[in-house]
Amino acid sequence: MGDLFTDMRGGDRRMRVSYHEGRGAVVVSLWADTVCRGTFQLAVTDVPRLVALLSHVERSAGTTSMPGHHDDLTDAVTPQPVTPSPEQTGDVHRTALPTVRTPRVA
């Protein structure tokens, strides 16, 4: 179960969120085209805290409620089951990327 999100800056940036029941983890991975650039494994026990934060942000931004969304911070968001195909995300390559020093702009 998971979903794929497009970066608001456009281009080929994507964020994939997937649930791994056997590990008790939600994995967030960042993609550039078909290359996974990084992952974060969130413990299922931390999901309610993340949902509460995102719900607060949604209300503060004045966005409209989406299907499957509950307005009570104690309720969980009902995930929409989506399994991105390998063509959407590409293969995960576990090789080290070369270090390139570039100036950072805030």
Indicate the pTM of the whole model.
0.56
- Type of residue found at 28: V
Residue labelled with tokens 């550039």 = 32
Condensed to tens digits (0 to 9), the pLDDT of residues 12-68 reads 999 999 999 999 999 999 999 999 999 999 999 999 999 999 999 999 988 655 554
Q: Compute how many other C-beta atoms are within 10 angstroms of the C-beta atom of residue 32.
A: 14
Task: Say if residues 33 and 90 touch (Cβ distance below 8 Å).
Answer: yes
Q: In what order do the strands lie in the sheet with 25-32?
A: 2-6, 13-20, 25-32, 35-43
Condensed to tens digits (0 to 9), the pLDDT of residues 54-106 reads 999 999 988 655 554 444 433 444 444 444 554 444 444 444 555 666 666 75
Distance CA 22, CA 10 (A): 33
Distance CA 25, CA 59 (A): 26
pLDDT at 106: 59
